Amino acid sequence: MSDTKESQNGVSTSVDDKSSHSSDSKFSKELQDTIKTKDVESASPSHQTPAYSAFPPKRQLLIVFIATAAGFFSPVSGAVYLPSLKLFESIFKTTPAVINASVSVYWAVFGVAPLFGAPASDFGGRKSVYIWSLAIFLIANALLAALPPTLGGLFSLRVFQVCFEES
């Protein structure tokens, strides 16, 4: 069965219903085949490509360990400080308000420090910022333990500690 259609310029064309249906079914068959081959759930694991990494597995494990340890420092350095507030009052021979101010400064800088870490990462790369931050954080912790107790040292080293544990 064929239909005759007349176009705008007066030329008549013939359209065969069977050919149009067969091309539609051929197209839908190709589409179904494509969908079947792209179906993730039905693909066997042997057809999947392995995840790419520039590092060998041992190096990947080391990187994950260092990142996990560094992520662990931030909550620990904040939480270890709070039970020692009474002890710091007697060591620094000052009032509770001054020692509590060191906690307030710590948390204020904790909130602002990421605003500087992100642009530094854009400029120098995440790896270099991460390494420098971790090194300065560890140095600040060592100096907090090693230097004689002064309020100025406590406040400034706590600021360094929080600035560089956030990055």
| Domains identified in the chain, total number | 1
Q: How far is residue 137 CA from its own chain's centroid?
A: 20
34 within some domain:
no
Beta-bridged to residue 13, according to DSSP, are 5
pLDDT digits (tens, 9 = 90+) for 88-138: 999 999 999 999 999 999 989 988 888 888 888 888 888 888 888 888 888
Looking at residue 25, its pLDDT comes to 64
pLDDT exceeds cutoff 50 at 68 = yes
95 within some domain:
yes
Higher pLDDT, 152 or 127: 152
Looking at residue 143, its pLDDT comes to 92
Helix (H, G, I), strand (E, B) or coil at 15: strand
Q: Which residues contact 159 (CB under 8 A, 6 or more apart)?
A: 105, 106, 109
Higher pLDDT, 38 or 66: 66
pLDDT exceeds cutoff 60 at 54 = yes
What residue numbers bound the domain in which 160 lies?
A: 57-166
- Percent above pLDDT 70 for the chain: 68
160 within some domain:
yes
**How far is it, in rounded angstroms, from Cα 87 to Cα 154?**
13
Looking at residue 100, its pLDDT comes to 93
Looking at residue 155, its pLDDT comes to 93
Q: pLDDT band at residue 14, thresholds of 50, 70 and 90?
A: very low
**How far is it, in rounded angstroms, from Cα 116 to Cα 135?**
17
Find the mean pLDDT for residues 54-77: 85
103 within some domain:
yes
**C-beta of residue 16 within 8 angstroms of C-beta of residue 10:** no
44 within some domain:
no
What is the dihedral angle through the alpha carbons of 15, 16, 20, 26, rounded to the nearest 10 degrees? Answer: -140
pLDDT exceeds cutoff 50 at 34 = yes
